[in-house]
Structure 1
Amino acid sequence: MAERQGAPGFGETGREYKRQAAMSKSLEQTALKNAKADKDQKTMVTSYGLKGSENSQPDEEFKGLIAACEADDRRAMIKVAKAFHTGDGLPPSRDKNWGKALYWLEKAVRTRYEVDESSSPLDDPCCKLVAMQASLYYTGGPGLAKDVKKSGELFKLAAELATKDNRGDLASEYSKQSKEAWQTLNKAVKKRK
C-alpha cells in the first residue's frame, strides 16, 4: 500500500495531534534531561572545590532550549521568543531582549510545520506569531527600536495569514490593528510637517 502524503484524513486528526504532542513532550523531556545531567556534573565538580555554580542550572536549561531552537524545534523557538519578550523563564544571567525575541519568532514562522512535525498548527499558528512581531515593533522595547511602519506591514500580513487559515475573527482583529498602525504613522508624518 502506498504511503499517504499531506494532512491526516477525517478521523485521523485526533490521533495525529496526539502523536505530535507526544513527540514534542519527548523532545522537551530529552532537552531537560540533558540539562539536568549537565547540572549534576557541575554540582559534582563544585563539591570537589573546582569550578561551577549552584545558580548555573537555570542557565543550562535555557541553553538546552537554545540548542533545541538551533535544531529547528519550532516549539522551543516560540518558548525562547516569549521568554526574551516577557522575561518569564529567562535565567538571571539574561535580560529581556525584544530583538532576540523577534529573531526567534521570525525563525519559527519560517520553520512553520515542514521541519518540526511536533508542532500542531493549533498551538501557535503563524498568523499569531506574525502579529506578535507586529506588536513588538509597534511599541519598541529592550533591544528593538520602535517601527510603526513595519508593525503595520506585519499586522497586514498576519491578517492575510489568518484569512488563509480560516480564522476570520483573528483576520478582522489584525486588519484593525494594521489600520491603527498606519493611522499612527500618518499622524506622526503630519506632525513633522
Structure 2
Amino acid sequence: MSIEFKGCTKKFKEKTILSNVNFTIQKGLYHLKGRNGAGKSTVLRMIAGLDKKYLGQIAVSGNSILYLNVDPIGIRPFTIRENLEILWNTFNIKLSEEQLSKVDEFFDGNLDISYSKASTGMKAKIGLSLILVKDWEVILIDEAMSTIDSESIKILSERLITLSNKVTIIYVSHSMINKELIDNSRAIYIEKGELSWENIQS
C-alpha cells in the first residue's frame, strides 16, 4: 500500500498547509508530527478523501480506508455491543471466536452497558475496535486514542505494529501513547507547507 502526493497545494484561508508537495508514503507505521495548526488533521482528511479542496493529486493504492478522529460514532439508545454489531454489519465483517474474545478484552467485558452511559474513552473504543477486526489497507487515526486507557492502547499498539508490515498506518497524537508504538513508528513532519522525513523545525 502507498500514498503519493503529487504537486499538492492546500490553503486554508490565508494559511498554506501544503505548498506544491511531492511525497510518497509506503506501507508501514507513521507518526505525523508538527506544531499546533500546522495541518496534521487536514492532511489526514485529504488522504481519506474527506477534504478535496486542494490542487494536485493524492494517489492512494487500496480501497479500504479507515479514518478515525475524536468524534464518537455510537448511536443511542443502543448498548456498546449493539453499536458494534451495527458497525460490523455495515462493513460486512464476520468475526472469528478469537476476534470476539479480543474485542471483549478491549472493552474489559463492558459490552452490554448503554452507549448513553458509557465514558468518553469507551465511546472512542467503538470506532477503534474496527482496527482489531478487519485488515484495512490504509488506517488514519487523528487523536482517537487520546481518551482510552493504557491497557487498551497496548492492545491497539500491538495490532497496529503487526499490521504495519502490509498496510499503511498514519496516526496523530500530541501525547506519548505507547512506547512500543512510538519505537516502531517513523516520524513524518509537516512544517511550513512541507512534508518531510526530517524535523525541519528550527
**Higher relative contact order, structure no. (Cα contacts within 8 Å, ≥ 6 residues apart):** 2
TM-score by length of 2: 0.27
Select the structure of larger CA radius of gyration: 1
TM-score by length of 1: 0.27
Name the structure where strand makes up a greater proportion of residues. 2
